[in-house]
Structure 1
Amino acid sequence: MRDSRHGRLVLVLLLAISFALITVDIRGGRNSPIANVRDWASAVFGPAERGVSAAVDPVGRAVNAVKDAGSHEGDKKRLQDENAKLRQQVDNIELDRNRAAELDKLLKVSTAGQYKVKPARVVAIGPAQGFSWTVTIDAGAGDGIKPDMTVINGDGLVGRVTQVGPMTSTVLLATDPGFSVGSRLAGSMEIGITTGRGDRPMSLKLLNGQAQVKKGDRLVSFGSQGGKPFVAGVPVGEVAEVRNKPGELTRTVEVRSYVRFSSLDTVGVVVEPPRTDPRDTLLPVTAEPTPPTAPAAPPAPPAAAEPPPATTEPPAGAQATRPPAAGDRANNANASGDGRRKPSSGGATPPAGRD
């Protein structure tokens, strides 16, 4: 107990002396009475402090690195999560851009055809209610959807509604083997039935077996009474191939659909048919064939320069010959013959022997 009290007393005394010296040193500044003592202590203990610091610093840095390792892992995980979120946002922007373009095409078709449509999105694809080629859309009875309504998109005929629930509906696609739609050839107005064939092109059977049909002919829906299950004027597809079966009067006409069923997303259910048949106005515009241009004629070769006319100069000392003049020809004629001079036409010659 006595030693403890003595130690505490010494500690308190040393602390008091230390505070006193610090106070005197601070107030004195560079003129402090203990400045020399401080410089001496710095000179004596400075090298020892630097040596201890050099030995202890690596250990301290290693301890700090180990302590900060956990925080770096946390930063790495946070950056990875932020990067994943940014990528998801970019994907969502691209998806929204594609959906906006499809919705714009759908609205253009519905406006041109005077269809009243309910836009919807495909939320599932695959067998449903016993059908092989169906999709589920996110619109149902609460949106005014009923069975046997036509389903379209910005390219053409998608299918028809078969089952309706409160929030979703089932659509039978035009590629299903059990799907058939009355169709009409653009231009010729020939009527037929277009039937789905799964993953193969649809087939067309014309009511007139002798009707002219060729590759590239385009089809639109003929329409049903009351617009159910099909409204009129919806683009169906174009003839891809016409084959004649040997020994049969019928022909096999394959039709390539305008719709890409493998990438369906935004569709529209026609809840009200048009007042008038749009006929062929909704068919995609086809570019007129450009007539082949005739090859340009090769440029004509340059005309050869004509040589200048040759001139023959008379030799030196010779008299240049020239054609005789009219007077010279007359004189020569008078001098020819018997040497007698012919009278001129101006008067008569007097007879000889007269005065």
Structure 2
Amino acid sequence: MPLLAIALTLLTAAVLVVDLARPGLAQPLREGVATVAAPAQSALAGWDDGRVRALTEERDALAAEVDRLQEQVRQQEQLRTLDRATTWGDHDLLPARVVAFAPATSPVGGRTVTIDVGARDGVETDQTVVAADGLVGRVLRVAPRSSDVLLLGDAGVVVGVRFGADGALGSVEARPVPGLPPRGHGELTLTALGDTQIRAGDEVSTLGSPDDRPYAARIALGTVTAVDPDRGQLGRTAVVTPHVDTDVLDLVAVVFTGRGDR
């Protein structure tokens, strides 16, 4: 019936166009439209407000279901991408959605995001959190149904790493290092252990922690994008651009390692 109403509207518009262009030609067409439209108009007139409201609600419900299914498909694809990307050791992933955030200036302390899984899902403090592209951070606080994640790039976060083809040791942090060039938004500083050479393009991954907490080993972290000039500091330094943009986080996962996390 909605299609019929649309068709009648289009036909009426056509009559108006003809009437404006050639007034004499429109009369037969108007009579024909009236003949065709009369039964349909009678049928449409029989629709009361309740019927129209019911059809509108049904349409809106179907549209909402389509949106829900599309979101489900998108989430499943994100999960497949996440699972394909995490090839580093024996682990399980608990998917989670970012539902809130706190800037570094928050009185609670730390640059964090809140995810929609918590103690009832088996989450504990100091578990690693990842996205499809690599490291996100670690679980800082746990509530029954949610958890706060301290992000890579917070001023208080220092991560032990390996970098380059030989897996040289170092650390990555966001805190400005005196004497080094200023960093851009989101950029981190890699400090090599000793005098190890750093090269632009070196891949950086997590070194790992005892029992894989707070950081499991071999998780992609970022890429060296620039090497700082040697100014006599104890270890060579470089700029690292993280693989994960924490400003646009959506689907993440809490890492449960194969050592009895749950």
CA distance in 2, matches of 1:174, 1:107: 20
CA distance in 1, matches of 2:88, 2:166: 22
Q: 1:227 to 1:161 in 2, by over 3 A?
A: same
Aligned residue pairs: how many? 209
Larger radius of gyration: 1
CA contact (8 A) 1:138 1:169 kept: yes
Verify: 1:97 aligned to 2:83, yes or no. Answer: no
Shift of 1:69: 10
Which stretch of structure 1 is more off in the superposition, 113-122 or 196-205? 196-205
Shift of 1:119: 2.5
Verify: 1:269 aligned to 2:254, yes or no. Answer: yes
CA contact (8 A) 2:88 2:217 kept: no
Query: Which residue number corresponds to residue 11 of structure 2?
Result: none
CA contact (8 A) 1:186 1:220 kept: no
Query: Which residue number corresponds to residue 98 of structure 2?
Result: 122
User: What SS is found at the alignment partner of 1:216?
Assistant: coil
Shift of 1:100: 0.6
RMSD: 3.1
Choose the corresponding residue for 1:187, options 149, 165, 180: 165
Instruction: Give ranges in structure 1 of 5+ residues lacking alignment.
Output: 1-60, 276-355
TM-score, with normalisation over the residues of structure 1?
A: 0.51
Verify: 1:138 aligned to 2:116, yes or no. Answer: yes
CA contact (8 A) 2:211 2:259 kept: no
Shift of 1:157: 0.7
Letter in 2 for 1:157: L
Choose the corresponding residue for 1:155, options 117, 127, 133: 133
CA contact (8 A) 2:172 2:191 kept: yes
Choose the corresponding residue for 2:191, options 190, 196, 205: 205
Bigger strand share: 2
Query: Which residue number corresponds to residue 297 of structure 1?
Result: none
Letter in 2 for 1:219: V
Shift of 1:269: 1.5
Letter in 2 for 1:151: V
Query: Structure 1, residues 242-291: CA drift from partner, whole Å, max 9, x if none?
Result: 2316x54465411111123233222222232579xxxxxxxxxxxxxxxx
CA distance in 2, matches of 1:215, 1:77: 63
Choose the corresponding residue for 2:149, options 162, 171, 175: 171
User: What SS is found at the alignment partner of 2:228?
Assistant: strand
What percent of counterpart residues are identical? 34
CA distance in 1, matches of 2:132, 2:89: 12
CA contact (8 A) 1:161 1:169 kept: yes
CA contact (8 A) 1:110 1:117 kept: no
Which stretch of structure 1 is more off in the superposition, 122-131 or 167-176? 122-131
CA distance in 2, matches of 1:78, 1:262: 42
CA contact (8 A) 2:198 2:237 kept: no
Question: Which runs of at least 4 in structure 1 moved beyond 6 Å after TM superposition?
Answer: none
Structure-to-structure mapping, 1:3-18, within 5 angstroms:
none
CA contact (8 A) 1:201 1:256 kept: yes
CA contact (8 A) 1:226 1:273 kept: no
Q: 1:148 to 1:95 in 2, by over 3 A?
A: same
With CA pairs under 8 Å and 6+ residues apart, which has the higher RCO, 1 or 2?
A: 2
Instruction: Give ranges in structure 2 of 5+ residues lacking alignment.
Output: 1-37, 176-183
